[in-house]
Amino acid sequence: MLETEVLIIGSGAAGLSAALGIAGHKKVIVISKSNSTIGSTYFAQGGIAAVMDKKNDNFVSHIEDTLKVGAGLCKKEVVAKTVVQAPSIIKWLEEQGINFTKLNHSRELHLTREGGHTNRRIVHARDATGAEVQNNLLIKARNHPNITILPYHNVVDLIMLDGFDKKQCVGAYVLDIKTNHIRTIKSSFTIFATGGAGKVYLYTSNPDTSSGDGIAIGYRSGCRVANMEFIQFHPTCLYHPKAKSFLISEALRGEGAILKLTDGTRFMRKFHKMEELAPRDIVARAIDYEMKRTGGDHVLLDISHKTKAFIITHFPMIYRKCLNFGFDISKEPIPVVPAAHYTCGGLETNMHGQTSISNIYAVGECASTGMHGANRMASNSLLECFAFAKFAAKKIINTPHSPPSKKIDIPNWDESLVINSDEEVVVSHNWEELRRFMWNYVGIVRTDKRLERALRRINILQKEISEYYGNFKITHDLLELRNLALNAELIIKSALSRKESRGLHYNTDHETTKREIRDTILRKRSS
């Protein structure tokens, strides 16, 4: 049994920056089910949105762009509070050792552009911003005396007590992946920083860690979940059987790359006045439409009109990676397809990152703060991770608390009634089936009939998974499958309940956008 004041689940941008914000005041344990480095943060390319060029840009413009892309569902006060934090967050990140790309060897930051932004405001570290951020924050956290990092620890569920007048979290049961034993961690505050749920879909830009665990665990614990129908599909992932949906950053389009059909025709002009830099939902839907219309299995992204020196200076990682797959992007266009990229919904929080259960927080992609609404604008995600980690840290530091549930007797995990599985293949079959029908029936373009079909499938799978979970010893894969299935159910139910098209949710049976604006809220009925 371990004890800590604050338990942070996840070691990406959100988890590590929350840990560093709190550790001057309270003891923190950060767990991650990976090696602590891998998560979406590590793979972020484009950068972090921040108004840094005070001459040509301003907060009002960043706020207005975010609200517009969010299609009416962003919370204006949340957007404003987050956007004004951005310059100080960039300064803080530089103090942590992060080396952002500068303008022509000066000390001034180079700012790039991405979809939806009307100005250049993306701060970046070449085309591998995430790796630079992740590596530096991890070094800082590892060296902090008040932070303990436990890699390869997968949270199973939170430990909840029915308090005097409300539910309370007193810690978590955690699978130590290396030993396959369950440990108990007691905590006064618990923060989910578990990232998104991209792995629900067959094709995704996300790493394997993105199985929506925090959203599922939070939901099972009684937290409210908001707006899960809004899944963002990134328009341009490399089309190659071995590339595992390698992302080709929107910053390429920001620097002039053009989308074309395989016969060389440009097509974005037909869909939006901002053409290649239209909001992501519009670009992804346009590509989906053109692929279906022409019967093609990909479209092309072309930056070969720029000089090789320009391409290598701005996009060294993407240039190298594509070359490894046989494409010289300085000479030829890149074959691309859309793939699931970002979970806009998640555990509903207030301005402090608090969920509907007051000592459970959610920060980063697993949260639904009101920042992104029905569609997230490019590079606003990392910004939200840092901003809400900061808000949550401040709230936790200033909340008086008793030491971690000293008097509460938490039972250890009981494995006496379950046996080792003799049919692990059930897990991989269900995993494959789930991701495929989510891709086919709950993708970029939806219909009521496809959503209902998906609901019938998920109900059957959920039953099978829960029987399996009840009878056999827990494994890492089984935990992820159980959480993926719950995320799929939440996405389908949310999508079915929204009888309109808005932002990322496009249903051909309900093509108009209603005047009434509402969030989709799901909460587990208490048993």
Rounded to an integer, what distance in angstroms lies between the CA atom of residue 175 and that of residue 169? 18
Q: Which of 4, 11, 112, 190 binds ligand FAD (CB under 6 A)?
A: 11
223/454 with CB nearer ligand FAD: 223
373 binds ligand SIN (CB under 6 A): no
Q: Which helix (H) or strand (E) holds 89?
A: helix 76-95
346 binds ligand FAD (CB under 6 A): no
Residues sharing a CB contact under 8 Å with residue 505, sequence separation 6 or more, in sequence order: 229, 230, 374, 446, 495, 498
Residue ranges in 7-46 that form contacts with ligand SIN under rule CB under 6 A: 45-46
Residues 71 and 513: beta-carbon distance below 8 Å = yes
Q: Which of 354, 368, 381, 430 binds ligand SIN (CB under 6 A)?
A: 381
Least Å from the CB of residue 46 to ligand FAD? 3
Burial class of residue 54, CB neighbours in 10 A (0-12, 13-18, 19+): exposed
**Phi, psi dihedrals of residue 480, rounded to the nearest 5°:** -65, -40
Give the DSSP letter string of 143-169.
T-TTEEEE-SEEEEEEEEEE-SSSEEE
Taken in order 271, 276, 278, 279, is the CA torsion positive or negative?
A: positive
- Concerning whether 280 is annotated as a catalytic residue, the answer is yes
Contact region for ligand SIN (CB under 6 A) — 9-17, 130-138, 332-340, 373-381? 373-381
Where b means 16+ CB within 10 Å and e means fewer, 441-466 reads bbbbebeeebbebbbebbeebbeebe
What is the chain's percent helix, strand, coil content, to nearest 5? 35, 20, 45
Residues 119 and 34: beta-carbon distance below 8 Å = no
Residue ranges in 118-137 that form contacts with ligand FAD under rule CB under 6 A: 129-130
Question: Which residues on adjacent β-strands are paired with residue 9?
Answer: 31, 192
Least Å from the CB of residue 55 to ligand FAD? 24
Least Å from the CB of residue 125 to ligand SIN? 12
Taken in order 19, 82, 236, 495, is the CA torsion positive or negative?
A: positive
Q: Which of 121, 224, 280, 450 is catalytic?
A: 280
Query: ∠ CA(312), CA(315), CA(319), 5° rounding?
Result: 70
Q: Which of 348, 365, 368, 388 binds ligand FAD (CB under 6 A)?
A: 365
155 binds ligand FAD (CB under 6 A): yes
Site size toward ligand FAD, by CB under 6 A: 43
Burial class of residue 407, CB neighbours in 10 A (0-12, 13-18, 19+): exposed
Residue ranges in 211-240 that form contacts with ligand FAD under rule CB under 6 A: 213
78/378 with CB nearer ligand SIN: 378
Contact region for ligand FAD (CB under 6 A) — 28-36, 99-107, 497-505, 510-518? 28-36
Least Å from the CB of residue 430 to ligand FAD? 18
Least Å from the CB of residue 189 to ligand FAD? 16
Least Å from the CB of residue 75 to ligand SIN? 19
Q: Which of 90, 251, 283, 367 binds ligand SIN (CB under 6 A)?
A: 251
Catalytic site residues? 280
Residues in contact with ligand SIN by CB under 6 A are 45-46, 249-251, 378-379, 381
Residues in contact with ligand FAD by CB under 6 A are 9-15, 31-34, 39-41, 43-48, 129-130, 153-155, 193-196, 205-206, 209-210, 213, 247, 342, 364-365, 379-382, 385
